[in-house]
Amino acid sequence: MSKKLLVLFTFLLLSSSLLNAQNNKMFQTVNPEEATLVKTDSSKQFCNVCGMHLTKFYKTNHATTFKNGKKEQYCSIHCQAHIHKDHAEKIKKIEVVDTKSLKFIDAKTATYVVGSSKKGTMSPVSKYAFSKKEDALAFQKSFGGEIHTFDETLKIAKDSLSKDTTAITKKRVAMARKGKKIYTSMCKQDKTPSFNSVGESKQYIIDNNLCKKLKPKMQQAVAIYLYDPILAANKDKMIKVAKDTKCPVCGMFVAKYPKWVAQIEVAQKHSHYFDGVKDMMKFYFNPSKFKHNHKVEDISKMLVTDYYTLNAIDAKSAYYVTGSNIYGPMGEEFIPFKTKKQANSFSKSHFGKKILKFEDIKEEFLY
């Protein structure tokens, strides 16, 4: 092959690669220099609700200014609807990206095209906004969809929140399982709180240097896992508890703390649920203190939640680590494991003071 032909072949190959890259680029994605990011903290690059990269989904971005002056940015009107549903009275102004100019505009004056053939963000039904109605109509002519105001589009997003969130949760299962593996091998596992969103979880990871340097997808996987660790668990093997069930010892709603649930079943075939082993054992030793008159011989089954798998395991055969730097809903906790090997490993990593069997636990240890 001559030198000229080789140069021409290389040029055509590079041109083809660039064309393929452009064709594979999502419609919502823009170049970083084209995006306006309104936040200044460590969450600047990602959605405050779902944690997804804002530039990647820029054409559906919404920005909210709250009455206290705080600004947040969301990848979509789906995530905006999550916030609006619970905090509408705190919001001062909502802006949306104009699909044509890529500038933020007042959402109240925007014209939305809902349900076009262009892919949606966080919903199968796409929602794109325009500053000028004629631009929206031109987009509709090319890609279909219906014309709506902001209020109408927000209502559509709110009405589909439950359905869309269910679909998103199913998609997150595989990511959460990857996140669990990454978290256990590359991150500090101490005093991790509960989170209200994936975005909040992600910001905590960054602000607290929780993990070794992670690629963006790995960081997102860990954030999803920490936000909802149940996604990585086998729900069929977990202790099942109703949402309105309260712990008879502390009065807290047990279902809010699925990683810590414990259960005592009595002979009359009713059960008591607890937000941790410590409260379960307080009840076990002295049920009358909590307005119940069960005797030890009335108990037919006791279950606790294995720390690593979240599976229900027999309380009387489990191993419990005490005095570690991992805290449960009620502070210091007796952390259960199915095997002594797992308990030893956890204890070494988290400064546990003792490993106890069920029969080693004394009532005075609980207070």
pLDDT of residue 121: 98
Whether 103 shows a pLDDT value over 90: the answer reads yes
Q: Is the pLDDT of residue 11 over 50?
A: no
Average pLDDT of the residues in 330-356:
92
Interstrand relation of 354-357 and 312-314 (parallel, antiparallel or unpaired): unpaired
Starting at the edge strand found earlier in the chain, the sheet holding 319-322 runs 335-337, 319-322, 354-357
Mean pLDDT of the chain: 91
pTM (whole model) above 0.85: no
- Determine phi and psi for 326, rounding to 5 degrees: -100, 125
Is 60 exceeded by the pLDDT of residue 19? Answer: no
Is 147 within 8 Å of 119 (Cβ atoms)?
no
Task: Tell me the pLDDT band of 2, cut-offs 50, 70 and 90.
Answer: low
Provide the token pair at 288: 């009358």
| Paired residues of 148 in beta bridges | 112
Expressed in angstroms, the distance from the first to the final Cα of the chain is 84
Query: What six digits make up the tokens of 300?
Result: 């037919």
More confident residue, 106 or 25: 106
DSSP-assigned beta bridge partners for residue 170: none
Q: What is the pLDDT of residue 248?
A: 95
Q: Which amino acid is at 283?
A: F
CB 57 within 8 A of CB 75: yes
- The tokens for 7 are 């140069």
Q: Which residues pair with 93 in a beta bridge?
A: 65
Place 343 in a pLDDT band, splitting at 50, 70 and 90: very high
CA atoms within 13 A on the CB side of 18: 6
Of 127 and 192, the structure prediction assigns the larger pLDDT to: 127
pLDDT of res. 186? 95
pLDDT at res. 13? 42
pLDDT at 10: 40
pLDDT of residue 94: 98
Q: What is the pLDDT of residue 198?
A: 97
Burial 124-163 (b: 16+ CB within 10 A, else e): ebbbbbbbeeebbeebbeeeebebbebeebbebbbebbee
Token code pair at residue 352: 């546990």
User: Which distant-in-sequence residues (6+ apart) come within 8 Å of 125 by Cβ?
Assistant: 114, 115, 156, 160
- Split at pLDDT 50, 70, 90, the class of 295 is confident
